[in-house]
Amino acid sequence: MAETSCLMPASALAQLLPMHLWLREDGTLISAGRTLAKLLPDLDDGLVGRLSGARPGEPSDPMTAIRGAVDGRRRLFLRVEGSQLVLRGHGVRVAGGSVLLNLGFGIGLHHAIRQAALTDDDFAPSDLAMELLFLQEANRGVLNELSRFNEQLEQSRARALLQAQTDPLTGLGNRRKLESTLSAALKTSETGEIRPFALVHLDLDNFKQVNDLLGHQAGDDLLRAVGKVLRDQIRHADTATRIGGDEFVLLLPGMTSRPALKQLSARIIGAINALTPPELPGLPVSTSLGIVVWPTDGAEHPDEVLALADEALYASKRSGRSRATIR
């Protein structure tokens, strides 16, 4: 190993370029950088079986690949045999037809570090390997934190949405909940079918005198109890909402049977009747219902369906309260 490049002795070269490979024209080794030697300790015994050309469509014989890249002034790609690692680099011809290559790890850096247990000292200071590793680990940490925050945001959003659609007094849905559920119910299914439903609009009879004679606390208690009655009477897929004061709306998907609606109305009226506070003088608490079975002519918009239910409700009120009108 007495050879000297035109510039410096091999030992200086090994120090300056830890990833260099200096080869005679016949492919025998003059010197190798110390990091490369760590990765491939037996290069002295020849390149074949240790390195091979990694460019698709080009010969895998290492010396052929090296000569081709150096003389054609192309980038050189060399696979480290028995691993996924592909070194990349370039080379020049130096003294006596020998070839000096400077190689690097590229994106395979992690494989190289694992394979040869490389440390900070194995990289030239001009190499950005350390910065790449730093950036990768730092990014991973931050991304991990961000996805945590994202999950938290998603949870808060779901909570806020539920809150925004809930009536705090009764725990039923509120007007916003009714609007969104009704709009969705009026749309055809994915297969283009109309999905019938019944909409029940009800308000309490003689509620005002509970408030006036027994106080607002008694009024609130009554509303809460009505909320419970409605929740108990509906099915899982139904929606019960309080849209203001003593007005409630039920949305019952698939419910088109008039006899069933009459029975339901009777049960609700009975249960609400039973909520009359014993100390209430005069008329008992009850409820009047207005029911629309959809589809019905000329009602395509939520407001139109609600207006029809409202009309039916007032028909019930006019004809003596404590009853249901189905249209």
Partner 1 sequence: MNRLVSRAIEEFLRSTYGEELVQELDGTPEAEAGVTDPARIDVSGLSRAGCRLSKPLSEMLEDMGGWMTRIEPIRRLLRFSGRDFKDFLLRLDELPGRANLVLPTLPVPRLQVRTSERGVQVMIIDPDPKSAWQFLLVGLIRGMADDYGALCLIAIDEVSIRIDIWDEQFAEGRLFSLEGASVMLGTT
Q: What positions carry a catalytic annotation? A: 246
**Residue among 75, 74, 47 at smallest CA distance from 60:** 47
Binding segment toward partner 1, per CB under 8 A, in 39-47, 131-139, 206-214, 267-275: 131-139
**Sheet holding 99-104: strands in order across?**
29-32, 20-23, 99-104, 86-93, 76-80, 51-53
Among residues 84, 126, 144, 191, which is the contact residue for partner 1, using CB under 8 A? Answer: 144
Among residues 8, 48, 92, 142, which is the contact residue for partner 1, using CB under 8 A? Answer: 142
Among residues 117, 128, 237, 266, which is the contact residue for partner 1, using CB under 8 A? Answer: 117
Cβ atoms within 10 Å, residue 271:
17
The residue count for binding partner 1 (CB under 8 A) is: 23
Number of helices (H) and strands (E), helices first, in the chain? 10, 11
Q: How far is the CB of 137 from partner 1 (least distance, A)?
A: 6
Asked if 297 touches partner 1 (CB under 8 A), the answer is: no
Residue list 47-106, contact with partner 1 (CB under 8 A): none
137 vs 232, beta carbon nearer partner 1: 137
113 vs 214, beta carbon nearer partner 1: 113
Q: Which two tokens stand for residue 144?
A: 């991990």
Asked if 139 touches partner 1 (CB under 8 A), the answer is: yes
Q: Which helix (H) or strand (E) holds 66?
A: helix 62-71
Asked if 128 touches partner 1 (CB under 8 A), the answer is: no
Among residues 6, 73, 84, 120, which is the contact residue for partner 1, using CB under 8 A? Answer: 120
Do the Cβ atoms of 52 and 61 come closer than 8 Å? yes
Q: Which helix (H) or strand (E) holds 79?
A: strand 76-80
80 strand-pairing partners: 51
Among residues 10, 16, 29, 133, which is the contact residue for partner 1, using CB under 8 A? Answer: 133
Among residues 114, 208, 258, 318, which is the contact residue for partner 1, using CB under 8 A? Answer: 114
Asked if 266 touches partner 1 (CB under 8 A), the answer is: no
Do the Cβ atoms of 36 and 43 come closer than 8 Å? yes
Q: Which residues fall within 8 angstroms of residue 219, CB to CB, at 6 or more apart?
A: 207, 210, 211
Q: How far is the CB of 310 from partner 1 (least distance, A)?
A: 43
Asked if 160 touches partner 1 (CB under 8 A), the answer is: no
Among residues 57, 149, 187, 190, which is the contact residue for partner 1, using CB under 8 A? Answer: 149
- CA separation for the pair 300, 65 (Å, rounded): 74
Asked if 136 touches partner 1 (CB under 8 A), the answer is: yes
- CA separation for the pair 272, 274 (Å, rounded): 5
Collapsing DSSP states into helix, strand and coil, what is residue 291?
A: strand
Q: Give the binding site for partner 1 (CB under 8 A).
A: 110, 113-114, 117-121, 130, 133-142, 144-145, 148-149
